């Protein structure tokens, strides 16, 4: 598939996105679900996104604050866009194809993509939404790694 990759050979994968989430990035920096994925991807893949770009994820946590589409997934879409869109989304359908695969994989694993459902079934007082965010991190990292290593 033809696409304009923003991610270049000068950008190196520094660490595992999943490992950053597992090791408590959200708790250490008081991040919501969407922020956690985007911040972790920024660090893991050396994206060098400025804080002004990272803070755009803030309003997507908690299913955009209304229990709709999972914030970890919207953070994942932001990460995929940061890597696989050079200038604009209309360049190609490539990122849309990746988004569809992300959602399909997540839904298959977690039964839903909706925050309210996910919180009801996977959130706990002890772990908060960590299992949900971790699932999104694993799926997102696998997609990114597969695509940049082709």
114 domain residue, yes or no: yes
Over range 56-82, report the average pLDDT: 96
- Give the C-alpha separation, 133 to 150, whole Å: 26
77-129 per-position pLDDT tens digit = 999 999 999 899 898 899 999 999 999 999 999 999 999 999 999 999 999 99
**Is 12 contained in some domain?**
no
The H or E element that residue 15 is part of is none
Domain assignment of residue 21, yes or no: yes
Closest CA to 20 of 133, 142, 149: 133
pTM of the model: 0.92
In order of 61, 75, 115, the CA distances from 42 in angstroms are: 17, 11, 23
Q: Which structural domain range is residue 68 located in?
A: 17-148
Pair of tokens at residue 70: 């999972």
- Total domains in the chain come to 1
Is 81 within the bounds of a domain?
Answer: yes
So what's the pLDDT on residue 4?
46
Q: Is the pLDDT of residue 50 over 90?
A: yes
> Does 6 reside within a domain?
no
Is the residue at 10 inside a domain?
A: no
Mean pLDDT of the chain, nearest integer: 92
In tens, the pLDDT along 126-144 reads: 999 999 999 999 999 999 9
> Which tokens belong to 76?
């994942």
């Amino acid at each position: 598939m033809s696409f304009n990759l923003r991610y270049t050979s000068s950008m190196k994968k520094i660490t595992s996105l999943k490992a950053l989430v597992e090791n408590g990035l959200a708790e250490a920096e008081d991040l919501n679900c969407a922020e956690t994925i985007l911040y972790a991807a920024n660090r893991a893949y050396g994206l060098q996104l400025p804080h002004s770009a990272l803070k755009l994820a803030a309003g997507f946590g908690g299913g955009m604050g209304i229990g709709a589409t999972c914030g970890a997934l919207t953070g994942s879409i932001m990460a995929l866009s940061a890597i696989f869109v050079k200038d604009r989304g209309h360049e190609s359908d490539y990122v849309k194809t990746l988004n569809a695969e992300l959602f399909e994989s997540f839904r298959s694993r977690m039964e839903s993509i909706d925050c309210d459902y996910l919180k009801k079934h996977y959130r706990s007082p002890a772990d908060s939404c960590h299992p949900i965010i971790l699932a999104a991190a694993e799926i997102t990292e696998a997609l990114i790694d597969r695509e940049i290593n082709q």
